[in-house]
Amino acid sequence: MSGFAESITVEDLERDPYPIYEQLREESPVAFVPAINSWLATRWEDVQIVSNKPEIFSAEDDNAPVVRHFGSPAIIHTDGAVHKELRKGLAAHYMPGKVASYIDGLARPIAKQHIERLRNNGQAELMSEYFEPVSVLCLAKTLGLGDVGSEVLMEWFHGLAMGAINFAQDPERTKQCDETKVQIEAALDPLLTRLEQEGDGSPLSHLLHHSMPEGEVRSRDFILPSVYVTLLGGMQEPGHGGANTLFGLLHNPEQLGALMNDPKTWVPKAVQEGVRWIAPIGTQGRSPIEDFEMAGVVVPKGASISSVLASANRDTAVFEKPDDFDMTRKQSTVASFGFGPHFCAGKWFANAQMEIMLEVLFEMLGDIEMVEGSPPEFFGWEFRAPTSFKVRFKAK
Ligand code: HEM
């Protein structure tokens, strides 16, 4: 076992995982990390193997924090027929053609309304005042939860995230997640009761009804773990990806200038680069169904292994100067939305939403700059984004 991997702590990873990934890629690209009771595969080529070979690397893993906290079957930790059933239920509303038909009418007014509220203040904390509320409201509206306020929705994803990142089984994180699930279930109850009686074509309705015999619906026990997964990733990540992208742009004024001159060309490229540079979701969790040798080590049957997307995105075998934010880079494939059967079902929805968030921000505010003395502080390895993002600007 690598001495370095043994010395890694959860706190180190949460503070800044990138130097750790760099050392792992060089010294022990597939390594067991005791602090998280999981193997980490950190090179692009090993990430491809773990994520793209479901016949060897099962997504089922009872040890995964998401399974321990959200229950089973949770879509990202299912294989085969159960996975197909859940994915078919959730994904239809977020396919590219469908997203194109509604995203502008959904996301742009929400984004504009939030900038309108802060544009005359000259400064703002963009995580809590813009990126997170816009992100949670967009997803909630698609799920029929548009009446729940953004403050409550933000509490939901923060609480759910405490479960999903709880590799070290911290009781305080468990408590926060459990309390959040109780709140969510209470809020979902009337909606699910109505949808169980009569479907309406929404993602939750589709999840309950699709491919079921006439008069039957799927049970709440069956769908709820995957609803929690979707609420967490779907509400949290576009806001985080948007913020990570803005951070890259504000650090690179030349690129920001080019983007302001031609947003149509550069906003989508900046977003792809933003989520590559700092991946909002760090890993895909898997477990080999038999002992599997890779990168000179044997990952034992039944062990937990994380395919580290955030690290693959910084692999010099694929990306030149990977630690730089560079929206002009030619490599178009990034690892951030995952690979294989579980690649992100909300990728197109998320990309369109992040693009709209940035377009609106730059249309309505000028001279945006970070506040001197309080730079954005990033946290997390499973989920990574600024905890706060203070900026000054002029209203346009
Ligand atoms: C920047 C934003 C986002 C990023 C970076 C992201 C990334 C990912 C990744 C890496 C996975 C694979 C997880 C795994 O295999 O363990 C995933 C799965 C998933 N994502 Fe996203 N996601 C984003 C936004 C969204 C949104 C907005 C939705 C809402 C519709 C969503 C819905 C899902 C679902 C349902 C899955 C499970 C897919 C499956 O297991 O088949 N995601 N996402």
CA nearest neighbour of 158 among 89, 240, 219: 240
Per-residue model confidence (pLDDT) at position 1: 52
Length of the chain: 396
Contact 83, 342 (CB under 8 A): yes
Ligand 1 centroid distance, CA of 214 (Å): 30
Task: Please give the average per-residue pLDDT across 246-255, as a whole number.
Answer: 97
Whether 275 is in the pocket of ligand 1, judged by its Cβ within 6 Å, is yes
Which residue from 344, 354, 383 has its CB within 8 A of the most atoms of ligand 1, so it is best to mutate?
344
Per-residue model confidence (pLDDT) at position 167: 87
Residue 365, SS3?
strand
* Strand 390-395 versus strand 377-379 pairing type: unpaired
* Residue % of the chain over a pLDDT of 70: 99
Contact 329, 298 (CB under 8 A): no
Burial label for 1, CB within 10 Å (0-12, 13-18, 19+), is exposed
Ligand 1 centroid distance, CA of 340 (Å): 12
Contact 84, 210 (CB under 8 A): no
Q: What is the pLDDT of residues 33-92, one digit of tens each?
A: 999 999 999 999 999 999 999 999 999 999 899 999 999 999 999 999 999 999 999 999
Whether 266 is in the pocket of ligand 1, judged by its Cβ within 6 Å, is no
Ligand 1 centroid distance, CA of 283 (Å): 11
Sign, CA torsion 275/276/282/286 = positive
Whether 334 is in the pocket of ligand 1, judged by its Cβ within 6 Å, is no
Whether 73 is in the pocket of ligand 1, judged by its Cβ within 6 Å, is no
CA nearest neighbour of 379 among 180, 171, 161: 161
Ligand 1 centroid distance, CA of 15 (Å): 23
Ligand 1 centroid distance, CA of 76 (Å): 9
Contact 236, 157 (CB under 8 A): yes
Q: What is the pLDDT of residues 194-229, one digit of tens each?
A: 999 999 989 999 999 999 999 999 999 999 999 999
CA nearest neighbour of 224 among 74, 61, 92: 74
Nearest CA to ligand 1 atom 21: 344
Whether 285 is in the pocket of ligand 1, judged by its Cβ within 6 Å, is yes
Per-residue model confidence (pLDDT) at position 137: 98
Q: What is the pLDDT of residues 147-196, one digit of tens each?
A: 999 999 999 999 999 999 998 899 999 999 999 999 999 999 999 999 99
What confidence tier does 332 reach under pLDDT thresholds 50, 70, 90?
confident
Kindly give the number of the ligand 1 atom that is closest to the alpha carbon of 279. 5
Kindly give the number of the ligand 1 atom that is closest to the alpha carbon of 241. 1
Kindly give the number of the ligand 1 atom that is closest to the alpha carbon of 285. 16
Task: Please give the average per-residue pLDDT across 265-269, as a whole number.
Answer: 97
Kindly give the number of the ligand 1 atom that is closest to the alpha carbon of 280. 5
Q: What is the pLDDT of residues 101-113, one digit of tens each?
A: 999 999 999 999 9
Ligand 1 centroid distance, CA of 79 (Å): 16
Tell whether the model's pLDDT for residue 2 goes beyond 70.
no
Task: Please give the average per-residue pLDDT across 130-134, as a whole number.
Answer: 98
Whether 349 is in the pocket of ligand 1, judged by its Cβ within 6 Å, is yes
Structural domains in the chain, CATH included, are 3-395 (1.10.630.10)
> Which residues have a Cβ under 8 Å from the Cβ of 109 and sit 6 or more positions away?
none
Ligand 1 centroid distance, CA of 233 (Å): 6
Q: What is the pLDDT of residues 288-320, one digit of tens each?
A: 999 999 999 999 999 999 999 999 999 999 999
Amino acid at 195: L
Ligand 1 centroid distance, CA of 54 (Å): 17
Ligand 1 centroid distance, CA of 344 (Å): 4
Per-residue model confidence (pLDDT) at position 331: 75
Packed helices 132-142 and 150-164: angle between N→C axes, nearest 10 degrees: 90
Nearest CA to ligand 1 atom 3: 237
Task: Please give the average per-residue pLDDT across 2-11, as a whole number.
Answer: 92
Residue 266, SS3?
helix
* Strand 377-379 versus strand 283-288 pairing type: unpaired
Nearest CA to ligand 1 atom 20: 344
Quote the CA–CA distance of 42 and 307 in Å, as a whole number. Answer: 7
* Residue % of the chain over a pLDDT of 90: 96
Quote the CA–CA distance of 69 and 162 in Å, as a whole number. Answer: 9
**Number of Cβ within a 10 Å radius of residue 97:** 7
Nearest CA to ligand 1 atom 31: 346
Burial label for 267, CB within 10 Å (0-12, 13-18, 19+), is buried
* Strand 38-41 versus strand 305-308 pairing type: parallel
> Which residues have a Cβ under 8 Å from the Cβ of 89 and sit 6 or more positions away?
203, 206, 207, 208, 210, 218, 223, 226
Quote the CA–CA distance of 39 and 298 in Å, as a whole number. Answer: 11
CA nearest neighbour of 271 among 362, 339, 340: 362
Per-residue model confidence (pLDDT) at position 356: 98
Per-residue model confidence (pLDDT) at position 168: 86
Whether 230 is in the pocket of ligand 1, judged by its Cβ within 6 Å, is yes
**Number of Cβ within a 10 Å radius of residue 179:** 13
Per-residue model confidence (pLDDT) at position 250: 97
